[in-house]
Amino acid sequence: MTFITGAISNSNPGPALYSAIETAALALGYTLVDTVVIGSNTHKVLKSAAAGNAQGLDWYLDINYPTTGTTGGMRFAPFEGYNASTHVATRGPYSGNSTTVDQTTYSAFGASTSALETNWMNSATYSSLSAVLSTSFTYYISITRDRILVELTSDAQYLTYSGFFTPTSAHSTAAGSALFPLVMTRMVAPTSTTTAMTTSFGVSTSLVFTRAPGAPTGSWFNWSASGMILVGATAFLGAGQLGGVGAAPFTSDQEFAPIPVIMGFNNTTFSTANAPSLVGYLKDVGVALGGSTVTMGNTVTVGSDTWYSTTQANGGVALLRGV
């Protein structure tokens, strides 16, 4: 894991932020396989080879940003395949109702390729997935060969995630050989009004999977608008409490446990046996209660790990594990 933080003050912040990310990513073993300029956006495609990640699968990360200015923000789009010679991608983030689900890969386009800003949720028009840029901000970014986590003070209530997630056992069983657990999301902290996480709660968010294993032909589903984030003790991995709710910054002596985040499709036609609604956990992401004085970059230490918070939203904060 590599954690980087710093401040950028630049009228064209995209190239500067990308440069910081690329330096860290290449040091971890990613390779830069393509650079493409499409309209006003620059696309940098990085590859995480199978030998260096948890799933043992090649995957690609397109980091794209405005070449100049800040309009449209920055996106981190995962793809299962990419051809640098023709600049086309296979099985990326896609949004839309589908009646022609490929029954081999359970994706909208199967083996068909598309340009980076064609069909995929990978352009400035998809604002719900774009990390907001400004001419002056601080960044907190955690990178592994499995995923990238991004917090920007210019996008203070959100945490941006792209890469592999940890699938639930039910999802792995349903997916079988079609399992390729890639997701792209920009999540805001879930809603809670309690002082201890003793029940589950959730929030709708922009959540885009590259495939939906088990979905029958002709089914209705939507990769993005139907995403959901769920957390809590009763349904998932365990309870956690945040002492001193409302205090900022967090202090290491508070009773604190980041609650794991589970993702799913908000679609009641799915079941655990057939494209399960709950599909998996975000890696190194947690949520906690947080008062209005909690701002992005506040930290709490749990064991040897430091967690960085977003600004309070909906009664909670999202956290990334930095180091």
* pTM for this prediction: 0.89
List pLDDT tens digits, range 292-305. 778 899 887 777 78
116-120: average pLDDT: 93
Q: How many CB atoms lie within 10 A of CB 255?
A: 10
**pLDDT, tens only, 12-51:** 999 999 999 999 999 999 999 999 999 999 999 999 999 9
pLDDT over 70 for what percent of the chain?
73
Beta carbons of 296 and 156 less than 8 angstroms apart = yes
Q: Which of 109-118, 241-250, 281-290 has the lowest mean pLDDT?
A: 241-250
Domain locations along the chain: 2-321
pLDDT above 50 (res 200): no
Cβ–Cβ under 8 Å, residues 98 and 225: no
Token pair, residue 257, equals 């446990």
Closest CA to 98 of 13, 224, 189: 224
